[in-house]
A and B are shown apart, each in its own frame.
Chain A
Amino acid sequence: MAGYALKRLMTEYKELTTRPPEGIIAAPIDEDNFFEWECLITGPEETCFANGVFPARITFPQDYPLSPPKMRFTCGIFHPNIYADGRVCISILHAPGDDPTGYEASNERWSPVQSIEKILLSVVSMLAEPNDESPANVSAAKMWREDRAQFEKIADQLVRKTLCLPASEA
């Protein structure tokens, strides 16, 4: 398609800088390439990820917003819906056509109505409420279900790491 991806991404960037949502920063890594973004999201309050500042990268396809972007965390986050290499597995980031897990209804998938801000907000709520029915990281899902204390300890270590604080001794 004759893309309007660039224009839309520029509009979204303008929107994000003029009215920044609480606890979210997103910007293109290089202003000459609007298809690679860097973002920071903060862990939702009253969860084990609270106050953590997690960096991630978003890569946009050239037919954005018809196809969803891809997002990956670059801080080694341990979470049931995030692959070990950081890729985020969340239904709104899946193209309408494909269903890797077989769990999602098509109305939860990507649509051009979504935006960077909405994606990041969804990811924040995913951090708060992992969906362990279709885990991307099986060991994380298992730990989340069976050993919540250990899971929270790992999350807390990461939060401290992202805040440049010393790790707890225990």
Chain B
Amino acid sequence: MNTGNPDAARRHNQAPLGIVSMLSRTPFPSVESYLALSLCVAVIASASVFTTFRSQPELQRLLEEELRNNTRLSSAYGLINLEALAGNTLFQIAHYLLSDTTLIWVAINSYFAILAMCAKLIIKLTFKELSRQEETVARQAFFSYILLTIVYLSVVSGPQRGYKVMPWTLWAGICGFLSHLQFVTCQRLKYTSPSCDRGSQKVSFLSLFLFFVSIAMSVMVSRVQNHLEWHSTVLLYFDCLLAVFRSTFILFRCISSSRVFSFNPDSVRHFNYFLELTTNFVCESIQMLSYAQLFIVSPGLNLTSIFFLYHMKLTYNCMREQHARHRTHKKIFEHIESAYPSVKAANSDDRCVVCWELLGSSRRLPCSHQFHDWCLMWWLAQDSSCPTCRCTIPSPQEEVRQAEPTARVQFQGGQVAFLYVPSFSFDLPASLASFFGRAAEPSDEQLAVMVEQVREMFPQMTTEAIMGDLRQSGSAQSTIENILEGRIGMNGSFMPTLDDELSDESENEMEFEEPAEVVQEPDAGRHRTWTKLSSSSGEDDLSYYEIQRAKMIETYRRKYLASDKAADLRAMGITE
């Protein structure tokens, strides 16, 4: 919003980078630090187990005895097996580990660490580097997952802690692993275009892997369901369903973006749009059901039940917003279909100016410019003029604009009401919700609440910037989206590290251009520059950009030296 605001820029320049930037630069708790810590703990624990076994030979005999007499094991595996197992040292160690709570937790932690390492490795192999934005979003999603899991565990384990919580932690670990990978893949797929084959093979492998893991999880649950209570089984099935649906979505996205379908980009877009819409709706409904289930299971009305109610409300809002967005899109699409004729391109090599792909069949605006259906739809969703000639075109924008605020205010009204009366506003009927949010403009009080919400996520943003965007967007959710997508606050207040890096790199870039030094020893400076330039243009492994840059600087240097301005340089003897 304020990309062009000189005040904001000045403020930013004066503001010291300070604690916020330092915190955002410290990648704590990073995966690496966690892995290192877990490794230390695991090494210490295994060393202690090893020394115990060494120093106390009678322990081994004791364990063997214990294993033989274990009734639960013997009933499960039969006596013969047990005899053999009891003699096995590895089995004895496992038994020893299971008898000590601390050691079990160390083992669980190592399991988490291994999962985290696998996830990191898979992401690295498939996507190489994630962009900063992707990383931020994935991090946030991951931390909210962890928070949810902690509360979830406290509910499912019930009042008796200890052994009962351990299988659930293992389950949460694999779910988290899967959902993190799915999240990152979804993010990536969302922004890659159809028929773009960069690394798509790797993504296809990953999608297959995710699909099989989620299927395997479901099979496992169906195997053990007889030993569990009904509500635990239901929860496990919800998790499986969620994983399977998401994996299927990723699989379909991969298939639809393969080259086979690239001849018809518009129908691929159509397919992707509806695929995403359905998956989101299905996943959110499942999530909603699982929160509802947890709410029912959670003992009494306490903090955890409020937490789950809040999450139900969030999911509900998500669904509503999505529905509203879909309605807008549908309206625009219907308008496009009814108002603009579908025509063939005049020349077979005409391209759509939005996506630069071949036009094929397209829509013609009254000003005779042509676009793909979807390209036109996305553009009209944010503007009401022809992209080419900027003439205003009759569009459903006016209707949409009138329809949108009511939908949004309803949502705010619900949310604000929720903040004060949590359990009440959840099952507020739509008519009542609209009554709550009758005011067209959010009041100052509501704005203040929303600013707080946004600032919780982005403490480094200025209040004015958030306020400005909130006034336009009308909802905390869309402002957060705006910030994440860089539409506001990119004047350095968000992502300060990026700015620093940019300037650092630009210094590196200009490393052979130190004017101060050159002034003192012009000839030495010139010589150094030349060797650098000629060596860089001679090497083969340089990128296109670097070679072109060297050439360009060389050309313009000559031109400059030949111009009037360089009289003093020529007088100093620098002519080339």
A4/B194 contact (C-beta < 8 A), A32-B129, A74-B509, A111-B390 known: yes
* B contact residues around A59 at 8 Å (CB): 486, 490
* B contact residues around A85 at 8 Å (CB): 9, 12-13, 491-492, 499
Determine the distance from Cα of A40 to Cα of B5 in the docked complex, in whole angstroms.
Answer: 25
A97/B382 contact (C-beta < 8 A), A164-B553, A164-B557 known: yes
Does A89 sit at the interface, judged by CB under 8 A? yes
Does B378 sit at the interface, judged by CB under 8 A? yes
Does B356 sit at the interface, judged by CB under 8 A? yes
A44 CB to nearest B CB, Å: 12
Q: Is the interface of B mostly helix, strand, loop or mixed?
A: helix
Cβ A53 vs Cβ B553 within 8 A: yes
Does B193 sit at the interface, judged by CB under 8 A? yes
Cβ B506 vs Cβ A75 within 8 A: yes
Does A38 sit at the interface, judged by CB under 8 A? yes
Q: Give residues of chain A (116-170) contacting chain B, Cβ–Cβ below 8 Å.
A: 134-138, 156-157, 159-169
Q: Give residues of chain A (65-85) contacting chain B, Cβ–Cβ below 8 Å.
A: 65-67, 70, 72, 74-75, 83-85
- The chain A residue with its CB closest to the CB of B269 is A2
* A contact residues around B566 at 8 Å (CB): 165
Q: Give residues of chain B (456-493) contacting chain A, Cβ–Cβ below 8 Å.
A: 472, 485-487, 490-492
Cβ B193 vs Cβ A3 within 8 A: yes
Cβ A163 vs Cβ B556 within 8 A: yes
Cβ B354 vs Cβ A65 within 8 A: yes
* B contact residues around A70 at 8 Å (CB): 3, 486, 490
Cβ A84 vs Cβ B557 within 8 A: no
Q: Is the interface of A mostly helix, strand, loop or mixed?
A: loop
Q: Which of B192, B269, B387, B485 contacts A111 (CB 8 A)?
A: B387
Q: Mark B1-27, 1 if CB is under 8 A from A, else 0.
A: 111111001001100000000000000
Cβ A8 vs Cβ B382 within 8 A: no
Cβ A100 vs Cβ B3 within 8 A: yes
Determine the distance from Cα of A63 to Cα of B381 in the docked complex, in whole angstroms.
Answer: 13
Q: Which of A6, A36, A100, A156 contacts B565 (CB 8 A)?
A: A156
Cβ B509 vs Cβ A55 within 8 A: yes
* A contact residues around B490 at 8 Å (CB): 59, 70
Cβ B509 vs Cβ A163 within 8 A: no
Cβ B568 vs Cβ A83 within 8 A: no
- The chain A residue with its CB closest to the CB of B270 is A2
User: Which of B356, B502, B512 is the most central at the interface, judged by chain A CB atoms within 10 Å of its CB?
Assistant: B356
Cβ A166 vs Cβ B387 within 8 A: no
Cβ B3 vs Cβ A163 within 8 A: no
Does B515 sit at the interface, judged by CB under 8 A? yes
Cβ A6 vs Cβ B191 within 8 A: yes
Determine the distance from Cα of A112 to Cα of B385 in the docked complex, in whole angstroms.
Answer: 11
Q: Give residues of chain A (88-116) contacting chain B, Cβ–Cβ below 8 Å.
A: 89, 93-98, 100-101, 106-107, 111-113
Determine the distance from Cα of A157 to Cα of B513 in the docked complex, in whole angstroms.
Answer: 12
Residues of B within 8 A of A (CB): 1-6, 9, 12-13, 128-129, 131, 133, 190-196, 198, 265, 269, 272-273, 276, 353-357, 375, 378-379, 382-383, 385, 387-388, 390, 472, 485-487, 490-492, 499, 502-503, 505-506, 509-510, 512-513, 515, 518-519, 522, 525-526, 529, 533, 543-545, 548-549, 552-553, 556-557, 559-561, 563, 565-566, 568-569, 572, 574
Can you pick out 20 interface pairs between chain A and chain B where the beta carbons lie within 8 Å of each other? A3-B191, A7-B355, A7-B356, A8-B355, A17-B544, A25-B549, A27-B543, A33-B131, A55-B509, A55-B510, A83-B9, A107-B390, A111-B388, A112-B387, A113-B388, A162-B513, A164-B533, A165-B561, A168-B568, A168-B569
Q: Which 4 A-B pairs have the closest CB atoms?
A: A100-B4, A74-B506, A7-B193, A4-B193
A87-B491, A164-B553 are known; give 8 further A-B pairs, CB within 8 A: A11-B356, A25-B545, A67-B485, A67-B487, A106-B390, A161-B513, A163-B556, A167-B519
